[in-house]
Amino acid sequence: MMSRKKLQNANIILGRLKKAYNLKKDIELANFLGVKQSTLATWKLRNTIDYDLIIAKCNDINLNWLLTGQGSMFLQPSPPPTVNEHAQAYQAKEQEIERLKQEITNLKAELKKMDQEEEKDTAHLQALQAKIRELELENRELIGQIKILKELLLKKA
């Protein structure tokens, strides 16, 4: 949602934006902000500004300067990291690498264990399947014997 508020005189803030970005005309500022020139005119007339748009488009501007005229015009870049900060970052990355190596080793060991268990399970499954085949064969033989015995009993009766 766009915020349009009457915090400051719109003409002053728009003038500061033109100054910061070395823009001479309202059309140049409108093009820079990605709005129509008539939108700028409306902002000035109503003394309102789309601050969300300004903050998004002008993220290098010091908002204190933009609103009050106080302080530096642009935000100061962060100082480059010191050698000590680089060393700490390097050490942290090395520790992370070692942690990841250990995790990989642990996962490989777990996978090997699972593979061994799977081999045992496969061997056990094959043994069970062989036992089932043996019992099925025995069952067929018994059915055959029962059939013969029934026939003998029927002949004697």
Domains plus CATH for the chain? 4-68 (1.10.260.40)
Q: What is the mean pLDDT of residues 55-84?
A: 84
Which one-letter amino acid corresponds to residue 36?
Answer: K
CA-based nearest residue to 55, from 94, 17, 104 = 17
Give the per-residue pLDDT at 79: 67
Q: How many CB atoms lie within 10 A of CB 23?
A: 17
> Is the full-model pTM beyond 0.85?
no
* Phi-psi category of residue 117: left, alpha or beta, with phi > 0 → left and psi -120 to 50 → alpha: alpha
pLDDT in tens, 113-156: 999 999 989 999 999 999 999 999 999 999 999 998 888 888 87
Query: By the 8 A CB rule, do 66 and 13 touch?
Result: yes
Higher pLDDT, 84 or 106: 106
- Evaluate if residue 6 carries a pLDDT over 50: no
List alpha helices for the chain, DSSP H. 10-20, 26-33, 37-46, 51-57, 63-68, 83-156
d(CA 126, CA 154): 42
Average pLDDT of the chain? 88
Higher pLDDT, 101 or 155: 101
Give the per-residue pLDDT at 54: 92
Q: What is the mean pLDDT of residues 11-34?
A: 93
At 31, the pLDDT band (50, 70, 90 cuts) reads: very high
Could you identify the residue written with the tokens 């399970």? Answer: 121
